[in-house]
Amino acid sequence: MSSPAVVVRALACTYAGATRPAVRDVDCELPRGALAVVMGATGAGKSTLARCLTRIVPCFLPGEVTGDIELLGVPVRDRRVGELAGTIGMVFQDFEAQLFSTDVTQEVVFGLEHTSVAPAEMPERIARALGAVGLAGFEGRDPTTLSGGEKQRLAIAGLLALRPPIMVLDEPTTDLDPAGRAEVMQVLARLRAEGLTLLVIEHDPAAAAAADLVLFLRDGAVVARVTPQLLLGDVGACAAAGVRPPDVTRVFAALGLPDPPLAVEAAADRLRTAGLVPRPPAFHEPVPRARSPLLEIRNLCHRYPDGRDALLDVTLSIGEGEFVALIGRNGSGKTTLAKHLNGLLAPTAGSVRLEGREVAFLPLEQLAQRVGYVFQDPDHQLFAATVGEEVAFGPRNLGLGPTQVEERVAEALAAVQLHERDADPFLLDKGARQRLAVASILALRPDVLVLDEPTTGLDHLEQERMLELLARLHATGRTIVIVTHTPWVIATHSRRVVLL
């Protein structure tokens, strides 16, 4: 009988400068050829476990690591990251941090060149990897011109081309549209069938449903090692774990049916067997009429400097007080459209008007107080030394006095339920940084709030907190526009959907 692919014994890791361990007393084994999903709240230690397996900690990120790790039966203590490249590879949660080449092909070939792959093999490996993630035809593109989801696919392709026997993927589907998520999960299923061992960190229950086992972390320790069915098939177990139950599980619980299958097709068969057939809803709620047009987009076109057309003749009206979701596949132009709403991008042709006035010609100070924009990655707009200074930056630049600035800072932080005014923004977890980015915009008191993927990379509880915040803001009369790929967010919060 072959040894496990991964063996972890008494693993603990404390980052340099930290007062408590990020992971502690971790013991686990992964069989060869298994697909294991690691779940847990933000800050539970999931990414740290992955970094320890790959020796990124302590080789690149300083920290004290104790305990033992074996990969394919070989201890990795004192091994360098480069020495393990032929055994284990990783796609980072911050996938943009590992993209650096000037075109897509060079990005994928980099790892092959540095692991002594024969040049004759490279074209076939590159083509297979890009095809597997839906990037065939992108070979000459500059990675900086790709959408967030396309960049995530490219990072995955770089790992697929190397084909190490153990692959670690840290939230590999966060920025992908539903079709892209399905494609990646199909790729992982094929790799598992070929005997590779996969460790996937995920918040998405659909990804966990396809796993052989689920490791659940809390406060740095593994508190459960279960089958997906045991965790995801029980609404109560999901609630205790802080995981959003799959829709199938929620439906079966509401109907009082036991043992829900995790596959939608199997669930549909069970429901039909039980005599339950879907019926069209008896009542269709109409799209509510907006009180008055606020943003009007007319025949909008946008062409990037590389000659790529991102928007073609888009016409859309957004009314005062609406909650609108912009949806579409990766690269469909959602973020490009959103960035036109507050003047971050200028139209190549057509117009964007705010209450009848061209956005492109509005004074920046005035526009900032009317339309606020929250980036997909909060780290792209956070820069101050403290939480309080971050939120105060905008009001100060409007020329407000100290009393008014303080009033707006307190108001914005209370709205997002952040109280650590003296904390370093970059030491907050992802959910708190996302809420801080929202607070920094709320301090300007905009009428329209545009958010690009506001729930991306957040655990279920953080997603709920963010959406409750948006619901409160919408209830005060603000117009909300979100870019999202998450179906349940669209179904439960948006009042109108725009498909690009």
Q: How far is it, in rounded angstroms, from Cα 23 to Cα 48?
A: 7
**pLDDT of 286:** 57
Q: What is the pLDDT of residue 431?
A: 79
Angle between helices 148-162 and 178-193 (to 10 degrees): 10
Structure tokens belonging to residue 230:
């045991």
Alpha carbon of 310 to those of 95, 141, 351, 486: distances in Å? 23, 14, 15, 22
C-alpha–C-alpha distance, residues 169 and 177, integer Å: 17
Averages of pLDDT over each 10 residues, the chain, 500 residues: 87 92 95 94 90 95 95 92 92 90 96 93 96 94 91 94 96 87 88 94 86 93 89 83 84 89 86 78 56 91 93 96 94 94 95 94 89 91 95 94 96 90 86 90 95 87 89 93 91 91
Write out the DSSP string of 283-327: --PPPPPPSSEEEEEEEEEEE-TTS-EEEEEEEEEEETT-EEEEE
List strands edge to edge, sheet with 6-15: 23-30, 6-15, 63-71, 74-75
Print burial letters for 126-140: b (CB count within 10 Å at least 16), e (below 16): beebbebbbbeebee
Q: What is the pTM of this model?
A: 0.85
277: Cβ contacts below 8 Å, ≥ 6 apart? 271
CA 312 to chain centroid, in Å, comes to 27
Give dist(CA 481, CA 124) in Å, integer: 43
d(CA 155, CA 65) in angstroms, rounded, equals: 27
Q: What is the rounded CA–CA span in Å between residue 338 and residue 347? A: 12
The class of domain 293-499 in CATH terms is alpha beta
Instruction: Indicate left, alpha or beta for 220 from its phi (over 0: left) and psi (-120 to 50: alpha).
Output: left
In 177-310, which residue ranges form alpha helices assigned H by DSSP? 178-193, 205-209, 228-232, 235-241, 247-255, 264-273
Asked whether the domain spanning 293-499 has the same topology as the one spanning 6-250, the reply is yes
Q: Position 127: which residue type? A: A
> What CATH number has the domain spanning 6-250?
3.40.50.300
Per-residue confidence (pLDDT) for residue 230, from 0 to 100? 86
pLDDT at 240: 76
Q: Where are the domains of the chain?
A: 6-250, 293-499
Q: What is the DSSP letter of 140?
A: T
